[in-house]
């Protein structure tokens, strides 16, 4: 397969002024007529249109049907000579939506037609210049059977509709905004609508419509409320107002991604629309709120200002993730949201960036673009956007955003354009920020301190490395910090030399030091005592911190740092040190211990009655297994998953035993007989309660709580938490509960996904056999991405016991499933194969077994380019 490079970008030779599409819908033979008005922009007269999986019916230029010899057709494109300055092409193609299991382009899901064009799906609908810098005005006419397709939707405004002969009807949609074809959408079928409306701050009425299947009409309230909140928030925070009279969201069951921001007509994975307390957990509710917001925010950051090419994906995704993070932070708890985002970044993006698929947030090349919708482009990209806000302050960031829209509205631009807007609006040179965009890997910052009691100076030295070396272009790293007194918990005062004042200034949550060089130091003057360092407050940069903190210092920070992130981070670090010690103990055949420091920090957090409940819950949660793995790899240790399982088993058990009475007291205090509410306080109560339940479930004397909570059936959050707690047990009661759950919910696909996912991440001794049986289950379908991810995705990512089973059977199973799935849906298969990319981290025996599965996959000789790219890069 061919590799595409950023350095090969060339502007368009032709522009498409307008596109007029007509779809004559038919499940297996949809006819697409595409009338395009072209203008030639350079002296290049060869026009090459993208097109794949198409049957070309005819092609006509300026009214004349072209013969075979007038154009050149391959599997991926259509080339013709167009010396005219302006001309019109009419291309007719035939496509088969029903047979489209790749779920890109036009396909059918539960009998309804829908589209997914990002990144390059439009070329499977018709021949086109399928690249984001080709902006055009779209008009779309949809003709379909009236009984089968009550609803006919596309982007923009409905300008015409009516009846036709033979039981058909039609609708014509016109989008007044120029757009790239990846934002095109069409939906048709028998869907019901939930309506709402929003009044913009300039007093226009926008109709809001959620289209769902009839049986889901009772699960739309939360999505509708989330949409209204998002619209209001974007007006208030960024002054951005919606620009059409109607905003439509369609929920479909079969969808490769979370959702898609098509202009005025979002298409969503139903997982991110449908919810009611009995069927969805708090995590699901929060996911819906943030994905609805994300897609809505794309209307400005993505649609009004779009990407010049796909290497700029982070321009819209990093920025829009940042925006949805800020939104959720305002809707719920800023501290909790920040910690959750950092956890996500560390658990998923850091490993990606340390593995064979590591790439900068602006990748320099790709084989299959769909493989670059990654944690790096999205989440690290959002962290880089956050750096601007940290450096410029909220107001400075807002000025930069305003200038960005002033300059680039209606254009397809680059990450440099964004940076220049930030710089110019604040009269700052931000060119060094570019180094974040072009270098892969997670930087490490090493901090050392030296206190001189005689001179009362505290010297801090900072050193940045990337991938273990100092050969990189130095990054601009904002270090937000403070120095705390060990004696009275307050921040210590100090002064700075004049030179240092230009590099270090007051920030809302401490001091902001701008690290710009490989090595730099800062001298704090007039420091009365050797303080404790509170570093990278709010996680002020996406780095690994290397600071030889004493455990006393960590216990102090974990107990009273005013920055919730550092407070949480300090307890995590204590936990991590303890976990690593125990991994070593297991490997050396020594006894494991619960460290007294970690225990002290747990104790003070459990006892702190003033601590936010959600933060308390986060504080008493052990670091994720993948974070521990990351730390072990960073130390150059190979991972033996059996040791990791043993260590987590021991730690949870020991914590439960040691803190049994406080855990039980809190669990009982958190009980509530009120009806489910989705708000910050109620969520925090459930979160802490269920964390306690999880610990208590380790104790024979407390195990009944799981069953009691399950039997109460109060809401899905609590029911699911009870089932989660049962995971390690191989027991009759667990099986009975799972069976009950299945009988109650087998009519609801999203709930059934949970049932599958629970078992795919089973932690009992029969985990592997259980998962194998799931793909044989009558409700398992390879064609449904959510179902495939619930079983195969969850198994690879979250089932250490089964996937990493020493026999290697887990690897063999997943690899053979990837091969099956790849024939059906390459995009999803490429996600499922990704746990194999980490093979070099594991012990030698596992490495060999994982590698041999990767080799088998390559040798199958039949991989899609999606899976091929990941597997071949992993073997390099
Ligand atoms: N652009 C979509 C999103 O991230 C994914 N294709 O919202
Ligand atoms: Zn997005």
Distance 67 CA to ligand 2 centre (A): 42
Is 295 near ligand 1, meaning CB less than 6 Å away? yes
Does 382 sit in the ligand 1 pocket, CB within 6 Å? no
How far apart, in Å, are the Cα atoms of 30 and each of 24, 93, 106, 192, 252?
6, 8, 9, 23, 20
pLDDT of residue 488: 81
657 is catalytic: no
Contact between 205 and 199 (Cβ < 8 Å): yes
What is the atom index within ligand 1 of the atom nearest the CA of 119? 6
- State both tokens at 540: 């002020």
Residue range 330-353, pLDDT digits in tens: 999 999 999 999 999 999 999 999
Q: Is the CB of 183 under 6 A from ligand 1?
A: no
Angle between helices 865-875 and 844-859 (to 10 degrees): 140
| Cα R_g (the chain), whole angstroms | 28
Q: Closest Cα to residue 772, out of 799, 747, 752?
A: 799
pLDDT score of 487 = 85
How many angstroms is it from 455 CA to the middle of ligand 2?
53
Q: What is the DSSP string of 813-825?
A: HHHHHHHHHHHH-
DSSP 377: I
114, 181, 255, 261: which to mutate for ligand 1, most atoms within 8 A of CB? 261
What is the Å distance from ligand 2's center to 740 Cα? 37
Cα 278 to chain center, whole Å? Answer: 25
Does residue 118's CB lie within 6 angstroms of at least one atom of ligand 1?
yes
Cα separations (Å) of 308 from 433, 818, 827? Answer: 20, 33, 23
d(CA 867, CA 313): 21
Q: What is the dihedral of CA 715, 720, 722, 724, to 10 degrees?
A: -170
Ligand 1 in reach of 361 Cβ (< 6 A): no
**Helix-strand-coil percent breakdown of the chain, rounded to 5?**
45, 20, 30
Report the pLDDT value the prediction gives residue 785, as an integer from 0 to 100.
Answer: 98
Structural contact between residues 163 and 44, judged by C-beta atoms closer than 8 angstroms: no
260 Cβ below 6 A of ligand 1:
yes
Rounded mean pLDDT, 575-602: 98
Ligand closest in space to the Cα of 301: 2
Whose CA is closest to 270, among 786, 760, 827, 783?
786
Q: Is 294 in the pocket of ligand 1 (CB under 6 A)?
A: yes
pLDDT score, position 257: 98
Stretch 208-232: mean pLDDT, rounded?
98
Residue nearest to atom 5 of ligand 1 (CA): 260
> Partners of 412 in the beta sheet?
306
Position 778 pLDDT exceeds 90: yes
Beta bridge partners of 90: 35, 60
Nearest CA among 77, 183, 173 for reference residue 121: 183
The angle, 0 to 180 degrees and rounded to 10, between the axes of the packed helices 564-587 and 641-658 is: 120
For 276-326, the pLDDT digits (tens) are 999 999 999 999 999 999 999 999 999 999 999 999 999 999 999 999 999
Mutation test residue for ligand 1: of 260, 319, 379, the one with most atoms within 8 Å of CB: 260
The catalytically annotated residue of 261, 289, 295, 352 is 295
Single out the residue of 604, 696, 611 nearest to residue 655, CA to CA.
696
In whole angstroms, give the CA distance from residue 318 to residue 381.
4
Q: How far is the CA of 119 from the centre of ligand 1 (A)?
A: 9
Q: What is the mean pLDDT of residues 420-431?
A: 98
Assess whether the C-beta atom of 257 lies below 6 angstroms from ligand 1: yes
Residue nearest to ligand 1 atom 1, measured at CA: 260
Is residue 801 scored above 90 in pLDDT?
Answer: yes
Q: Which residues are close to ligand 2, an ion, with C-beta < 5 A?
A: 317, 320
Query: What ipTM goes with this model?
Result: 0.98
Ligand 1, atom 3, residue with closest C-alpha? 260
**Can you give the pLDDT at residue 176?**
98
- Contact 267 CB / ligand 1 (< 6 Å): no
**Distance of CA 298 from the midpoint of ligand 2 (Å):** 7
Domain architecture of the chain: domains with CATH: 1-190 (2.60.40.1730), 306-438 (1.10.390.10), 443-541 (2.60.40.1840), 727-876 (1.25.50.10)
Decide whether any atom of ligand 1 lies within 6 Å of the 172 Cβ: no
Query: Is 104's C-beta closer than 6 angstroms to any atom of ligand 1?
Result: no
* Nearest atom in ligand 1 to 260's CA: 2
Query: Cα(237) to centroid of ligand 2, in Å?
Result: 19
Average pLDDT in the chain = 97
Mutate to test the pocket of ligand 1, among 104, 257, 302 (most ligand atoms within 8 A of CB): 257
Q: Which-ligand-closest: CA of 369?
A: 1
DSSP, residue by residue, 513-569 = EEE-SSEEEEEEES--S--EEE-STT--SS-EEEE---HHHHHHHHHH-SSHHHHHH
* 88-97 per-position pLDDT tens digit: 999 999 999 9
* pLDDT at residue 170 is higher than 90: yes
CA of 308 to the centre of ligand 1 (A): 16
- Does the pLDDT of residue 862 top 90, yes or no? yes
Reported as a pLDDT band with limits 50, 70 and 90, residue 489 is confident
| DSSP bridge partners of 196 | 208
pLDDT confidence band for 621 (50 / 70 / 90): very high
Report strand pairing: 532-534 vs 510-515.
unpaired
Q: Residue 741 C-alpha to ligand 2 middle, in angstroms?
A: 34
* CB-based contacts of 582-586 (< 8 A; 24+ apart in sequence): 582/647, 582/650, 582/651, 583/628, 583/632, 583/637, 583/643, 583/644, 583/647, 586/643, 586/646, 586/647
Q: What is the pLDDT of residues 720-767, one digit of tens each?
A: 999 999 999 999 999 999 999 999 999 999 999 999 999 999 999 899
Which of 298, 325, 827 should be mutated for ligand 1, with most atoms under 8 A from CB? 298
Which of 853, 856, 760, 756 has its CA nearest to residue 807? 853
Instruction: Quote the ligand 2 centre to 239 CA distance (angstroms).
Output: 20
**Does residue 586 have a pLDDT over 90?**
yes
In ligand 1, the atom with minimum distance to the C-alpha of 298 is: 7
Alpha-helical segments (H) within 409-448: 415-425, 434-438
């Amino acid at each position: 397969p061919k590799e595409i490079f950023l350095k090969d970008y060339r502007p368009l030779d032709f522009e498409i002024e307008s596109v007029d599409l007509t779809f004559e819908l038919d499940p297996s033979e949809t006819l697409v007529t595409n009338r395009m008005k072209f203008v030639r922009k350079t002296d290049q007269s060869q026009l090459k249109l993208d097109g794949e999986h198409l049957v070309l019916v005819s092609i006509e230029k300026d009214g004349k049907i072209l013969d075979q010899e007038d154009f050149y057709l391959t599997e991926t494109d259509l080339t013709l000579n167009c010396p005219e300055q302006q001309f019109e092409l009419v291309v007719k193609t035939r496509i088969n939506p029903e047979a489209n299991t790749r779920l890109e382009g036009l396909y059918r899901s539960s009998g309804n037609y829908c589209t997914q064009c990002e990144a390059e799906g439009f070329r499977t609908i018709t021949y086109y210049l399928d690249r984001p810098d080709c902006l055009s005005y779209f008009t779309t006419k949809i003709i379909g059977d009236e009984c089968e397709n009550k609803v006919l939707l596309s982007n923009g405004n409905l300008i015409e509709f009516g009846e036709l002969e033979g039981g058909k009807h039609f609708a014509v949609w016109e989008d007044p905004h120029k757009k790239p074809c990846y934002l095109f959408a069409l939906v048709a079928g028998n869907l019901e609508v939930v309506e709402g409306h929003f009044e913009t701050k300039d007093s226009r009425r926008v109709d809001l419509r959620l289209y769902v299947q009839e049986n889901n009409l009772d699960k739309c309230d939360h999505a509708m409320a989330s949409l209204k909140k998002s619209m209001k928030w974007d007006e208030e925070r960024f002054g951005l107002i919606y620009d059409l009279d109607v905003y439509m969201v369609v929920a479909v069951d079969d969808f490769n991604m979370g959702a898609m921001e098509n202009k005025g007509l979002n298409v969503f994975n139903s997982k991110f629309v449908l919810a009611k307390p009995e069927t969805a957990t708090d995590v699901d509710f929060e996911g819906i709120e943030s994905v609805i917001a994300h897609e809505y925010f794309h209307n400005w950051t993505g649609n009004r200002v779009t990407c010049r090419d796909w290497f700029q994906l982070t321009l819209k995704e990093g920025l829009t993730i940042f925006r949805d993070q800020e939104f959720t932070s305002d809707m719920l708890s800023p501290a909790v949201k920040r910690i959750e985002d950092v956890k996500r970044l560390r658990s998923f993006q850091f490993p990606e960036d340390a593995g064979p698929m590591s790439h900068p947030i602006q990748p320099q090349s790709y084989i299959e673009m769909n493989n670059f919708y990654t944690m790096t482009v999205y989440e690290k990209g959002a962290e880089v956007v956050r750096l601007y806000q940290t450096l410029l302050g909220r107001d400075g960031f807002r000025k930069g955003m305003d200038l960005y829209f002033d300059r680039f509205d209606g254009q397809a631009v680059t990450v440099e354009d964004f940076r220049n807007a930030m710089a110019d609006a604040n009269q700052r040179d931000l060119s060094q920020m570019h180094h974040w965009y072009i270098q892969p890997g997670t930087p490490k910052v090493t901090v050392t301190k030296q206190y001189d009691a005689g001179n009362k100076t505290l010297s801090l030295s900072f050193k940045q490395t990337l991938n273990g070396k100092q050969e990189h272009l130095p990054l601009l790293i904002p270090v937000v910090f403070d120095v705390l007194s060990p004696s009275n918990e307050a921040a210590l005062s100090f002064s700075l030399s004049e030179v240092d004042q230009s590099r270090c200034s007051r920030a809302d949550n401490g001091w902001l030091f701008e690290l710009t060089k490989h090595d730099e130091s800062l001298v704090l003057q007039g420091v009365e005592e050797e303080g404790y360092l509170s570093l990278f407050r709010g996680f002020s940069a996406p780095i690994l911190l290397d600071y030889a903190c004493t455990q006393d210092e960590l216990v102090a920070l974990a107990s009273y740092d005013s920055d919730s992130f550092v407070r949480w981070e300090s307890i995590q670090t204590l936990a991590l040190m303890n976990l690593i010690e125990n991994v070593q103990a297991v490997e050396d055949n020594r006894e494991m211990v619960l460290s007294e420091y970690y225990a002290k920090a747990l104790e003070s957090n459990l006892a702190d009655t003033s601590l936010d409940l959600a933060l308390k819950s986060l504080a008493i949660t052990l670091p994720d297994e993948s974070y521990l793995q990351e730390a072990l790899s960073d130390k150059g240790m190979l991972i033996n998953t059996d040791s990791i399982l043993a260590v987590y088993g021991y730690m949870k058990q020991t914590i439960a035993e040691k803190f049994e009475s406080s855990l039980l007291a809190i669990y009982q205090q958190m009980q509530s007989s009120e009806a489910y509410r989705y708000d910050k306080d109620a969520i925090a109560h459930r979160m802490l309660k269920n964390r306690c339940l999880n610990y208590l479930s380790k104790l024979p004397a407390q195990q009944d709580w799981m069953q009691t909570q399950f039997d109460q059936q109060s809401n899905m959050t609590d029911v699911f938490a009870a089932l989660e707690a049962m995971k390690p047990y191989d027991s009759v009661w667990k099986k009975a509960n799972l069976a009950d759950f299945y009988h109650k919910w087998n009519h609801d696909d999203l709930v059934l996904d949970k049932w599958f996912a629970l078992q795919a991440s089973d932690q009992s001794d029969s985990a592997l056999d259980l998962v194998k049986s799931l793909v044989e289950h009558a409700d398992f379908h390879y064609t449904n991405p959510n179902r495939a991810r619930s079983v195969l995705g969850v198994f690879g990512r979250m089932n250490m016991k089964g996937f990493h089973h020493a026999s290697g059977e887990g690897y063999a199973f997943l690899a053979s499933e990837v091969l099956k799935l790849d024939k059906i849906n390459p995009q999803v298969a490429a996600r499922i194969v990704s746990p194999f990319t980490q093979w070099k981290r594991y012990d030698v025996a596992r490495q060999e077994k994982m590698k041999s599965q990767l080799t088998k996959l390559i040798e199958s000789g039949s991989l899609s380019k999606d899976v091929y790219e990941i597997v071949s890069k992993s073997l390099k």
